[in-house]
Amino acid sequence: MTYLTELVRQVMESLLRNKLRSFLTMAGIAWGITSIVLIVAMGDGFKEGQRNSTKSLGENLVILFGGRTELQAGGERAGRRIRLNYKDVENLRRECYLVKLVAAELQNNLHATSPFNSGAFDVSGVEAHFTQIRTIPIDQGRFFSEEEEKSGQRVCIIGSDVKKQLFGTRPNVNGSQMALNGIPYRIIGIMASKEQNSSYSGLDEKKIFLPYTAMIRDVPPVKNYTPGYLDEILYQPRSLEQYEEAQLQVKKVLGRAHGFSAADKSAIGIWDTVENQQQVNGIFDSMTVFLGFIGFVTLSLGGIGVMNIMLVTVSERTREIGLRKALGATKHRILVDFLAEGCVLAFTSGIIGWGVAFGLSSSLKLVKMPEMFPGLPVSAATSAIAFATLSLIAIASALYPAWRAAALTPVEALRYER
């Protein structure tokens, strides 16, 4: 303990002896650490924002649309239009073991009327488990049940914008009646407002959701509608690690049913949010690595500053080193003293720089940020990377001056004149 106390005292005395020089060197190290932490945190913030945006639509969601074939297969000509139907949903549920959930969706644009106002809105006929795949937050009431969907009950969920137009600012409209193309429906749920930066068929806040069975009975699309027709099929892969294999399974099942090759990329339109998320993460990761490298260069320049100040310190204290060696100080003790001084200088600067970055991150949490950039999250991993980099640079920059000091002989050191 006495040795450690004496070591700390010597280091602090040396740093305080040249306050301005120590401050400028520490500022360089602190700025480097601040840069690294904030740059990595910025990349993490953008990735978190992208995940939030994707979750507003649905997590790990894949959406299938009908397309046109561009390859001949099974004796069928190219250029055929593929129209999805409910039998495809049943086949996918039965045969695709790598798919966790499958949901059908049928769309139409209908005239809605309340006792107070009216308007035309997009309407989606969906199944009861639709909310397990898509993010449909409910502010009042609930989503319809499987029993209500199977029996085709005339119930509906309306978006917050639909409520504003049909009912104005009236607070309690859950349980109210409205008409869709003149057919009465009971409102059992009202969606909460939500941020939604992506959509495949319009914003959810502007929609009305009906049980699929009620929609095909009461208000099916008039144009080109055939029994069982669907606008989209949505599914969720069972595992993110096997989402590509799940997609291949889906293509094979649909290809067999509709007579097209699984290799035909145009037969079925696919919006794969899992793949999109990975691509976006790759872009942000590349950006973070590039900017992090710039931060590393900045930190390295700070390390060069530490090396310079330590070399100057060795030069200034050469006679002191010779006297200490003449009095019995070992080479190892001199090496540890100067190495400790350089490391304390670097790590004190690093802690200050990390504190600045963390303070800025915490301050941003008090401000309302856009969903695409929720802030600068300073994670434990980011901090570990920053201090691991600092440790490497600190030891590398302090080791040579410390070795040079330890290598001096007492005679050379005592005869040295500046």
Q: Residues 85, 200: one domain?
A: no
Task: Answer whether residue 62 is part of any domain.
Answer: no
CA distances, 335 to each of 111, 321, 401 (Å) = 84, 11, 9
Q: Residues 220, 255: one domain?
A: no
Q: Residues 213, 251: one domain?
A: no
Q: Residues 262, 379: one domain?
A: no
Pairing mode, strands 138-141 and 183-191: antiparallel
Task: Answer whether residue 282 is part of any domain.
Answer: yes
Q: Residues 286, 249: one domain?
A: no
Q: Residues 220, 247: one domain?
A: no
Quote the pTM value. 0.68
Task: Answer whether residue 110 is part of any domain.
Answer: yes
Residue 286: the pLDDT is 76
> How many domains is the chain partitioned into structurally?
3
Q: Report DSSP state, residue 416.
A: -
Domain-terminating residue out of 237, 256, 288? 237
Q: Residues 251, 290: one domain?
A: no
Q: Residues 43, 17: one domain?
A: yes
Phi first, then psi: give them for residue 99, nearest 5 degrees: -105, 130
Mean pLDDT, consecutive 10-residue stretches, the chain (418 aa), reads 61 68 74 80 75 75 89 70 92 93 93 93 94 91 93 94 92 91 94 80 90 92 82 91 89 90 86 76 72 71 70 67 70 72 76 84 74 72 77 73 68 55
Q: Residues 123, 85: one domain?
A: no
Give 217's contacts (C-beta < 8 A, 6+ positions apart): 152
Residue 374: the pLDDT is 67
What's the token pair of residue 245?
């294999």
**Residue 84: alpha-carbon gap to chain centroid:** 32
3-state helix, strand, coil in the chain (%, to 5): 55, 15, 25
Q: Residues 93, 141: one domain?
A: no
Q: Which of 266, 249, 267 is nearest to 258 (CA)?
A: 267
Task: Answer whether residue 60 is part of any domain.
Answer: no
Residue 112: the pLDDT is 95
Q: Cα(111)–Cα(240) distance, rounded to whole angstroms?
A: 40
Q: Is 239 strand, coil or helix? A: coil
Q: Cα(172)–Cα(190) distance, rounded to whole angstroms?
A: 10
Q: Residues 143, 230: one domain?
A: yes
Residue 381: the pLDDT is 76
Task: Answer whether residue 61 is part of any domain.
Answer: no
Task: Answer whether residue 148 is part of any domain.
Answer: yes
Residue 63: the pLDDT is 92
Task: Answer whether residue 296 is part of any domain.
Answer: yes
Residue 150: the pLDDT is 92
Task: Answer whether residue 153 is part of any domain.
Answer: yes
Q: Which of 182, 191, 122 is nearest to 163 (CA)?
A: 191
Q: Residues 257, 352: one domain?
A: no
Whether 158 and 191 have beta carbons less than 8 Å apart is answered as yes
- What are the DSSP calls for 46-112, one per residue? HHHHHHHHHHHH-TT-EEEEE-B--S-BTTBPTTPBP--BHHHHHHHHHH-TTEEEEEEEEEEEEEE
Q: Which domain holds residue 352?
A: 2-55+278-415
